[in-house]
Structure 1
Amino acid sequence: MGQGLSCAASQEHGLFTAVQFGDLEILEAVLERDSSLLHQTTAYDRQSVLHIAAANGQIEILSMLLDRSLNPDLLNRHKQTPLMLAAMHGKIACVEKLLEAGANVLMFDSLNGRTCLHYAAYYGHSNCLKAILSAAQSSPVAVSWGYARFVNIRDGRGATPLHLAARQRRPDCVHILLDNGALVCASTGGYGYPGSTPLHLAARGGSLDCIRELLAWGADRLQRDASGRIPYMVAFKHKHGACAALLNPSSAEPLVWPSPLKFISELDEDAKLLLERALMEANKEREKSILKGTVYSYPSPSHSDVGIDDDISEASDTELCCICFEQVCTIEVQDCSHQMCAHCTLALCCHNKPNPTTASLTPPVCPFCRSSIARLAVAKSKGFDEADLEVGDVSSSKLRRSRRSRNFSEGSSSFKGLSAVGTLGKMGGRGSGRIAADNEWVDKL
């Protein structure tokens, strides 16, 4: 009998070793001798072969096990699923395979009451985070539970995935979560200090990149935790000087992703990236002034030194923004096809204040033709009417100048009062909405 037990233990050890190191031949040989070993677990942690395969990224073995109708939601000692372990270790192929097999994204472990989304955010695996969010968006979770609720799901200590990503210095994950509807000012329960927002936790961890992302999405620098501390005090206490400088309520307000863009039904992904980049560049200019201890004034598109080519040739005059005449046009309004640079587009979308009677924002309109903006896309570098012009054609230069003048004259009167400097200054009032660059009180946008 003792020999029989020893033989069984040896087979189990061979099984788990084969799974861990991806030896498919040995695994198949072991299972051929005794197929019941497929349901064995390790002695202490109760890890199944599916857990081991997922944690070690053994996609071939994982696929074979799932093809044998093994439950993708098996639990180990801590009620962790194979999907949680794959997300923890960043094994994207295994994450995708488990999601394809129908793994439940709403399972909670018994350690901290966390889901696979918490694991991906905590350990900073942005590709796994995207895969889980994409699966949740198209699964019954979105119907029964609600996608927005899933993005802001809390663990056993009241922390959302955004809280964990901010605390662990994961700016890429912070950006993805905010882009998918994570609440930027949500407070924790018992995680960290009670009442902490993601901004408090980013300040505690000293992550400038996370702080930039959170501020750009409207995080309130004056929101207090349960102990009455604002994020600035947290950063100062933990000796994160640069973070404290950006979070200091007396410093200039950051520029914030404008709410009116929510009215645009189809925001082209490439166009969105251009707008986000323009906003972050403007904030970095602000940061340089703050960290140098100088008086800050909001950068205007006409004076921004980022992305401007001083040697723009006459042949590209038609691509210059007809509002600032400095930046190259990168954004196109559809269906009217008028073009602007990313900085002026942001200024346009921040121009309208909320209606005090309805407390709602009015959708932005094209400054040239006054039509409602339904979609933004990346601007075409060359119009169809110019495609047939020869390179050395003398008339081409005149045509470009003519189109530039005509485009500007069309919108000059309708765009009256929306100066580049003034509008970008207004954009700065959307952070906490209390302190402006010149220390005057401003309204929230």
Structure 2
Amino acid sequence: MRSLSLVGTTFGCSASGERLVSAARDGDFQEAKALLEYNPRLAKYTTFSCRNSPLHHSAAQGHHEIVSLLIESGVDINLKNYRGQTALMQACQYGHWEVVLTLVLFKANIHKTDCLNGGTALHLAALNGHSCCIRILLADYIPSIPTFYKLVKKRSRIEEFVSESSEGTSLYEIINRPADGGVTALHMAALNGHVDSLCLLLDLGASMNVVTLEDGTTIDLIGAGSTPLHYAAYGGNPHCCQILTAWGASLTAENEKGWSPLEVARLWNREWLEEVLSAHEQQQTMTLPSPYLSLPLMSVVKIARECGWTGGSVSNCTDPCAVCLENKCTVAASGCLHELCTRCALYLCSNSNTSSAPHAPSGSIPCPLCRHSIVSFKKLTTTKPLLQPPLKQNSSLSCCSCSSMPRTNTQITQETIPLSKPKPASQSLRSQKFLSLKLENNLCTRGTDTIASIVRRSNLQKYSRSSFRWSNAQLKGRRPWLCSSNRSLDSPDVY
């Protein structure tokens, strides 16, 4: 009887876990919240086939509110699936910068590598040209100082001015970290012709002299010993080649096959690169900073972690944020001293792509109220740090025994603040209240879905159990590691 009870518990929790996976995939915040209020341990549920958790599904689909809800429920933020990819990697792969920002605020590990190619989240963001994700990933390593771009431009010892993590990793090491075969993020951006990502990586100190290696794990048609300019010549984007040569990339460098960038272009019929790569004397031209460089991001991220990014309700203050009119002001911009809420400051630093004035410091963000250049944000004296303890990171949940959970009637409330533009009050879910529920803990042993009365079932029939498994079409549609395809990413699949 004990074994039958355990089997019933497992199947009951598995059914609820699959419903949470479906809610995370569909972006159904209300259903996900109701499931987690009943059983917060469902946040650690993982599918048996590919170890994808609800966090992986919501990150791949860009549902940052559900991502925040799952993290607050105690899910392991650095959990990997069978491919060794974390939720941060999947968000960077599909360019969901709001999910990336949410995960970075909760201190997701950006140094994790996948099991197939040894690539990090930075490699996946550069591979697909998501410059906004690159800037957020490196928020803890780019100091909010006006001379940052000049220091990198002169190739000074920028490591002395850059914040280091607990592991002592510097910005230069992160930017130039190689994946399998010695391929760096700069190689990825150059190969696929992502000009914005290429410029941003160069502004942050990416090396143009790093060459690939022959380690027996990567099939490289260009050959070992290739520089990013070799990869740009193979990719065929003339703008990328011009930018690399303007930054000082060698036109005569040869790989282990004896090929120069010009010979690589000729071998793969890139005739339009002849003029760009055949200059007898390499000319140094003036390079402009990337519009994706954001200096104030580090300062506002630190404030958000310390004091939260909600800032309190507008009903409790007489001078709300002039941008959203929803939260009270918590930070002040350097220079103009205009006050904003932390959420608006995060959105401004993450999504702004233009500088305020020609003579403004490179990487500064224009103030939305006066267009003055902002280099950093400062915390207001009235902004108090959070008193709640740090979140605990637990391991994944394969089989849970709900009969061992303590019985409680306490209402669990989770508040999530969207990091995008404010929505009308009629569409906001933050104002909705969920009734506290009194449920028996031993109901899960019946082997059926025990909370059918509190969760909407409108979207449940769209998904069969076979939809959570791999199909032949999905296997054939896997994206290659080096070359990104041109398929639409509006509805990404989670493997």
Same topology, TM > 0.5: yes
Task: State the 1:78 CA deviation.
Answer: 1.9
Task: State the 1:223 CA deviation.
Answer: 0.3
Q: Deviations over 1:302-361 (max 9, x none)?
A: xxxxxxxxxxxxxxxxxxxxxxxxxxxxxxxxxxxxxxxxxxxxxxxxxxxxxxxxxxxx
- Please tell me whether the aligned partners of residues 118 and 161 of structure 1 are also in contact (alpha carbons under 8 angstroms): yes
- Please tell me whether the aligned partners of residues 41 and 73 of structure 2 are also in contact (alpha carbons under 8 angstroms): no
- Give the aligned residue type for 1:50: L
1:211 equivalent to 2:193? Answer no
Secondary structure (helix, strand or coil) at the match of 1:141 reads coil
Task: Provide the residue aligned with 1:377 in structure 2.
Answer: 359
1:81 equivalent to 2:86? Answer yes
Task: State the 1:213 CA deviation.
Answer: 1.2
Q: 2:273, 2:242 → 1: CA distance?
A: 9
Q: 1:151, 1:71 → 2: CA distance?
A: 26
In the TM superposition, 1:15-94 aligns within 5 A as: 15-94=20-99
Task: Provide the residue aligned with 2:282 in structure 1.
Answer: 253
Structure 1 gap segments, 5+ residues each: 259-266, 273-375, 380-445
Task: Provide the residue aligned with 1:233 in structure 2.
Answer: 263
Q: TM-score, normalised by structure 2?
A: 0.50
Task: State the 1:152 CA deviation.
Answer: 0.5
- Give the aligned residue type for 1:124: G
Task: State the 1:209 CA deviation.
Answer: 1.6
Task: State the 1:182 CA deviation.
Answer: 0.5
Secondary structure (helix, strand or coil) at the match of 2:169 reads helix
Q: 1:144, 1:257 → 2: CA distance?
A: 34
Q: Deviations over 1:65-104 (max 9, x none)?
A: 1222323211211221111111111000010111010111
Q: TM-score, normalised by structure 1?
A: 0.55
Worse overlay, 32-41 or 78-87: 32-41
Q: Deviations over 1:91-140 (max 9, x none)?
A: 00010111010111111111111111111101110100111122333653
Change (3 A) 1:268 1:162: closer
Task: Provide the residue aligned with 2:176 in structure 1.
Answer: 152
- Out of 202, 216, 221, the position equivalent to 2:251 is 221
Q: 1:102, 1:9 → 2: CA distance?
A: 29
In the TM superposition, 1:8-407 aligns within 5 A as: 8-137=13-142, 140-141=164-165, 144-190=168-214, 192=220, 193-250=223-280, 253-257=282-286, 377=359
Worse overlay, 52-61 or 183-192: 183-192
Task: State the 1:42 CA deviation.
Answer: 1.6
- Please tell me whether the aligned partners of residues 159 and 188 of structure 1 are also in contact (alpha carbons under 8 angstroms): yes
Structure whose residues are more often helix by fraction = 1
Change (3 A) 1:378 1:103: closer
- Please tell me whether the aligned partners of residues 113 and 120 of structure 2 are also in contact (alpha carbons under 8 angstroms): yes
Q: Deviations over 1:395-421 (max 9, x none)?
A: xxxxxxxxxxxxxxxxxxxxxxxxxxx
Q: Looking at CA atoms only, which structure, 1 or 2, has the larger radius of gyration?
A: 1
Task: Provide the residue aligned with 2:474 in structure 1.
Answer: none
Q: 2:226, 2:168 → 1: CA distance?
A: 29
Secondary structure (helix, strand or coil) at the match of 1:10 reads helix
Q: Deviations over 1:265-315 (max 9, x none)?
A: xx9999x9xxxxxxxxxxxxxxxxxxxxxxxxxxxxxxxxxxxxxxxxxxx
Task: Work out the percentage of aligned pairs sharing the same amino acid.
Answer: 32
Higher relative contact order (CA 8 A, sep 6+): 2
Task: State the 1:5 CA deviation.
Answer: 6.0
- Give the aligned residue type for 2:172: A
Secondary structure (helix, strand or coil) at the match of 1:75 reads coil
Change (3 A) 1:269 1:237: closer
Task: Provide the residue aligned with 2:325 in structure 1.
Answer: none
Q: 1:84, 1:16 → 2: CA distance?
A: 18
Secondary structure (helix, strand or coil) at the match of 1:137 reads coil
- Give the aligned residue type for 2:120: T
Q: 2:16, 2:28 → 1: CA distance?
A: 14
Change (3 A) 1:167 1:224: same
Structure 2 gap segments, 5+ residues each: 144-162, 294-357, 362-495
Secondary structure (helix, strand or coil) at the match of 1:18 reads helix
Give the count of matched residue pairs.
Answer: 266
Q: How big is the alpha-carbon RMSD for the aligned residues of Structure 1 and Structure 2?
A: 2.7
Task: Provide the residue aligned with 1:422 in structure 2.
Answer: none
Secondary structure (helix, strand or coil) at the match of 2:88 reads helix
- Please tell me whether the aligned partners of residues 122 and 134 of structure 2 are also in contact (alpha carbons under 8 angstroms): yes
Change (3 A) 1:378 1:29: closer
Task: State the 1:257 CA deviation.
Answer: 4.3
Change (3 A) 1:269 1:55: closer
- Please tell me whether the aligned partners of residues 141 and 170 of structure 2 are also in contact (alpha carbons under 8 angstroms): no
